[in-house]
């Protein structure tokens, strides 16, 4: 249990500083793409914050501290529209902010007590309650809330009955949980939707680690990543349900896969020796899908790093944010497309199709007078 908690702490720090027989498709990247900086925006705020989300209706951006207890809303030019910090006592208390983002233009936070709290101008105006006890082991920078028809969808919470003390069974049950849960906006009845296909390697009876899902909707298609395997899962929406269509391999050069084991103790002990690769986000960008990732760092290279670098921003100089590019038929066109080396985790695509990232001050050789946002354009070379 101590090993598991140590691993969770390390992975959480990395996140916020920042199959045989399977129905899969794969292709060899054949084109050259780049992400070019076409504009930069400076925000008049001295301190480190990460860009988390974007509201296309109001054309505004949401940034927050790593906690994320404190946040900013800024317009397209970087002007601060709102600066707020969640209350820890008094009214509108947030006990533990696990995820933060926009839902229908409102700042929304996953709180570990009831579920999702919705804020307008720093004032709590609503809740999306999870109607059963749940717990949070891994924070996810992707809030993941969206609505379709009469239902709201969000990452399926981990039930309060789950316990890591159950050993491998905890993880086997975790992988069998739905990836998403939907809630009727009127009756508040919940329904688990979007499960891993039975052919997924994650259902092989071994321990693969915690899932950190990311997903994107493109019309009636849902494209899902578990975060821990180099694959995307494609589902089609039919009524209130999502039907599994196919699995698509993401070809990544020198991908450092997490090693699977029979027990959690073995898994965490061995995987703490390296930095496994991870898929971090999925964007719909015009005629393309952009899948962002870190390829990972091998055990040999990790052993050569100073411990002060191993679990700090410095590690991203050796494992930067990269992207794979797919067309709308899920043919992979490229991989290894580089973000600026000082980029934080890619979280946002705006209504112009620009990928927008925040700059990490700790990775820069120059000192800026505020937070910098880079606007990037995907270009075929």
Q: How far apart are CA 122 and CA 102, in angstroms?
A: 13
Q: ω into residue 68 within 30 of 0, thus cis? A: yes
Q: What is the pLDDT of residue 309?
A: 72
Domain that holds residue 336: 2-380
Q: What is the pLDDT of residue 14?
A: 42
Between CA 356 and CA 249 the distance in angstroms is 26
Distance CA 282, CA 348 (A): 10
β pairing state of 24-25 and 241-249: parallel
Return the pLDDT at 99.
Answer: 96
CB 33 within 8 A of CB 337: yes
Give the chain's residues under pLDDT 70.
Answer: 1-30, 310-311
Q: Give the whole-angstrom CA distance, residue 107 versus residue 351.
A: 18
What is the pLDDT at residue 28? 58
**CATH number for the domain including 97?**
2.120.10.30
Domain count across the chain: 1
């Amino acid at each position: 249990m101590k090993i598991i908690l140590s691993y969770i702490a390390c992975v959480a720090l990395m996140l916020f500083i920042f199959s045989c027989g399977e129905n899969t498709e794969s292709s060899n990247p054949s084109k050259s793409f780049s992400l070019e900086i076409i504009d930069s925006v400076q925000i008049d705020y001295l301190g480190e914050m990460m860009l988390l989300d974007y509201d296309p209706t109001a054309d505004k951006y949401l940034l927050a501290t790593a906690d994320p207890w404190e946040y900013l809303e800024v317009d397209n030019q970087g002007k601060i529209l709102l600066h707020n910090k969640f209350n820890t006592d008094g009214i509108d208390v947030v006990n533990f902010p696990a995820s933060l983002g926009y839902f229908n233009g409102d700042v929304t936070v996953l709180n570990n007590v009831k579920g999702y709290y919705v804020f307008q101008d720093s004032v709590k105006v609503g809740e999306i309650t999870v109607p059963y006890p749940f717990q949070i082991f891994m924070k996810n920078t992707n809030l993941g809330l969206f609505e379709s028809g009469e239902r709201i969808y969000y990452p399926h919470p981990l039930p309060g009955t789950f316990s890591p003390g159950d050993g491998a069974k905890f993880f086997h049950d975790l992988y069998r949980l739905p990836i998403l849960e939907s809630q009727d906006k009127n009756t508040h009845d919940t329904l688990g939707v979007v499960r891993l296909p039975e052919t997924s390697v994650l259902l092989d009876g071994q321990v693969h680690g915690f899932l950190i899902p990311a997903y994107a909707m493109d019309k009636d298609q849902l494209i899902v990543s578990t975060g821990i395997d180099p694959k995307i899962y494609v589902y089609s929406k039919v009524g209130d349900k999502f039907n599994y269509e196919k699995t698509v391999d993401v070809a990544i050069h020198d991908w450092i896969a997490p090693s699977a084991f029979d027990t959690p103790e073995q898994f965490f002990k061995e995987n703490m020796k390296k930095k496994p690769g991870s898929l971090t986000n999925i964007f719909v960008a015009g005629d393309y899908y952009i899948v962002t990732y870190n390829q990972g760092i091998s055990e040999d290279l990790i052993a050569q790093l100073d411990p002060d670098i191993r679990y700090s921003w410095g590690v991203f100089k050796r494992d930067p944010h990269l992207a794979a590019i797919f067309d709308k038929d899920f043919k992979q066109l490229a991989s290894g497309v580089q973000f600026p080396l000082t980029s934080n985790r890619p979280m946002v695509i705006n209504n112009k199709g620009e990928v927008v990232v925040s700059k990490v001050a700790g990775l820069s050789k120059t000192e800026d007078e505020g937070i910098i946002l880079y606007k990037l354009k995907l270009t075929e070379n």
